Structure 1
Amino acid sequence: MSLFKPTGFLTCLVLVASLFLGLSESSTPARAGGSPGDFDFYVLALSWSPTYCASRGRNADPLQCRATKPFRFIVHGLWPQYERGYPDFCRSRQDGLDRGTVNDMLDIMPSRSLVAHQWRKHGSCSGLDADEYFDMTRRAFEKIRIPAPFQSLDRTGRIAPDAVEKAFRISNPGLRDAAMAVTCSNGTLQEVRICLDKDLNFRGCRAVDRSGCRAGKISVPSPAR
């Protein structure tokens, strides 16, 4: 049984939800002059790729949006955070990335420009070198179990943001509502943001949690086929 109510269908298929369940970054402001390694925790931002592809149309990154096997949740980034706000574009000895480092991330971050931007804006504040930062990013992603309905969704549906959180919570023991937020844009699922300490354990994050989507129901676009 599906978590989602398919658009245009009169029959409600969201019983399981009641039981189990273009890209923006954190709504809290950045702080100028961040020092690498000086932060409180990470946010792992998982973007629903079909939303990006649908919103950008012909301007979408072809590597991400014209893949033979459509992407679903991808890594937007692993973001160092303060309890309120976040550092960005920190001074780093390593400004650029080598091709191998970028290519190694394309299975979970399917855009070369995205990988490069995330290093410049966020990775530079981690206190890690680029290879260490992207290794940390992959380990954070692999820690998260994506709920089964999002792995098999084949039609556009609608769901409550709270139901999305509940699905992630049940699929990931130890994850609590106060350690994540679901974001939306124009009534459509955008991201699931999960807070992790520096050892990649789940941890609460009040400011991130409060920034979540306020809509009653949001659309979840299906992957292109």
Structure 2
Amino acid sequence: MSDYTLTASVRNDLGKGASRRLRRANEQVPAIIYGGEAAPQPIAVDKTSFYKALEEEAFFSSVITLKLDGKPLQVVVRDLQRHPYKPLVTHADFMRVDATHEITMRVPLHVVGQDESKAIKQNDGELHQLANEVEISCLPKDLPDYLEVNIAELEIGSTLHLSDLSVPAGVTIVELSYGEDHDQAIINITKSKVMSEEGEEADEGGAAQSPAADTAAEEGKDEEGDKE
């Protein structure tokens, strides 16, 4: 689990106008914390460290230490609202986490082993990744940044399902708790489809002649024969 720390302050000036003024100052991002037994709390997150953290994939599947007016608080990112065309985050939602209670998060799948795969490198296999992330449940201390899928030994025609994933101790895949019918495919390897072009017969001048033209020519010959 990666380690991220953000600095924030309680936000008392509320409303759309206040949020716009905060964003216009370009130093903080309006946000809210909710969950647990405490009431939802509007906050403002320091922009520089927040934007830097957003560049890393692991940030979205990590427990974050939020220093709220100097007091540390454990949270996870639940939602981001972004500007429709500018590279700006207009609002962020954080959820409080309790070390003694499991949390449900979506974590990315990292596929490895492509360079060692005989199916791909030697037998014209084509990799199809059918899922990019998986929903898991675990205690905050057991939350992984991602789940790894090794395809080095897969053969053409092979399919991996959620039940084939190797997960760390204390981690469960939420979808599998609903029964075997929810054991969805996440990876498969198929034979590459190579498009072949059939050569066309050329006429005496070297130009290709279509089947329709051939048929018309044959009919013309038949008509001449009938006239004779």
TM-score normalized with structure 1 length: 0.22
Q: Which has the higher helix share?
A: 1
**Rg comparison, structure with higher value:** 2
Higher relative contact order (CA 8 A, sep 6+): 1
Q: Which has the higher strand share?
A: 2
TM-score normalized with structure 2 length: 0.22
